[in-house]
Amino acid sequence: MKLSWLSVAALGAGAANALDVVTTKGNKFFDSKGNQFFMKGVAYQLTPADPLIDADQCERDASLMKTLGANTIRIYHVDPNADHSKCMATFADAGIYTLIDLDTFDTYILPDDPWWNQTQHDRYAEVMDAFHTYDNVLGFFVGNEIIARANQSQAAPFIKAATRDMKAYRDKKGYRKIPIGYSAADIAELRPMLQNYLTCGGREADNVDFFALNSYEWCDPTTYATSGYANLQKDAENFPVPIFFSETGCNVPGPRLFDDQNAIFGPEMVNDWSGSLVYEWIEEANHYGLISYGPKVEPTATGKNIEGGFTRAGTPTPVSPDFYNLKSKWDTITPTGVRLNDYKPTDLSTRDCPTSTEGGWLVNGNVAIPTVGQTFSGSFKPTPTADPEDTGSAASPSSTNNPAPPNKEIAGMSIGLVGVMLVFTLWL
């Protein structure tokens, strides 16, 4: 017999604790039974508001996600004051973990004028407070695609400051050590340096617990060698923390075949990558959706659950053939990885802090991380590098060819967020 939502509510957050807690060791995720965990996920943000508060909608979506074979969703924006217990329980019951972005529209780290202040700190902390009790929280992001151009790399120390302070807050509060990381744009001139910078310096308390990449390099039909994935793998080999695709799924020329999943979970990459999240769940004007909630309407149309010309709630209907192509692909992919007790991350390499390059990466070495309340002053002071626990050699960065990223709609919208943030500059 199907549980009523009243019954689910009575179970409280404990109902969302049916899944094994996932932790990190070295560059891999493991569940509490010692099995390596690989993500087969989707980006899930139905509207700019919180998608984890509509219990009925979560139930409909989780059921179809389970059919698809998804085990992870990413949520870009949430309301820390809302009740998420029913949706979190529903997704846990479907075997689905969540990755939650800590920033909100009015607390985003600005790429061209970065700062990290107490208001941002506290708002990030509120999101963590709201979700830390759920065992199916896989991780938190401190930012998404903050850096998209070479002259924005000066924001990197502020990303590291947010990481440091959120990890310190988590530990001070005695919360489970939920991994905290960053989701980066795949910019050839910046990405290798950024992923090294966020894991360099020898101080684990300052560094990300995982690094994620929004990459649209693999556009079917292509191959591992010609897509650019071979270069991504070169930079990820023996990376010191887990690395995965937080967005993927190029739709040019279409339909999407998702052959990149064979590479990500195949022998070329599976030893270093922890899976991928496909962009995205809902069909929008950019045509990246795996499902739709109804036919497209006029962009100016108004009504309940209608925004931007699309219905954003209701019964999810698979978009053909993309939904079925992905389902068929995931049905054939069952990576097993390595057991936790058998895993010895001795081959992982610590990374040297990258030096600045003319017209490219602007942060020179292991600079001092900003403190709360600090804004960018035009330069950074260097700081000594701590002795790392692992003294392996650093991999040299290399560039990859990256096609134009998708014209994103509701989710993953770092450029759009900049405009929104300008409204809040005085308030912060």
CA-closest candidate to residue 22, choices 358, 337, 300: 337
Identified catalytic residue from 59, 145, 284, 409? 145
- Cα gap 229→260, rounded to integer Å: 9
Helix residue ranges per DSSP H, 141-274? 156-172, 191-197, 224-227, 229-236, 260-264
- CA distance readout (Å), 284 to 6, 33, 45, 108, 407: 33, 39, 11, 24, 10
C-alpha–C-alpha distance, residues 89 and 18, integer Å: 8
Q: Say if CB 129 and CB 146 are below 8 A apart.
A: no
Q: Which DSSP letter does residue 68 get?
A: H
Q: Is 247 a catalytic residue?
A: yes
55 phi and psi angles, rounded to 5 deg: -60, -40
CA angle 348, 352, 357 (to 5 degrees): 140
Cis, bond preceding 316 (omega within 30 deg of 0): no
Q: Which of 247, 280, 284, 409 is catalytic?
A: 247
**Strand positions, DSSP E, 4-84:** 22-25, 28-31, 36-37, 39-43, 72-75
- Between CA 177 and CA 59 the distance in angstroms is 28
Q: Is 145 a catalytic residue?
A: yes
Which positions are annotated as active-site residues?
145, 247
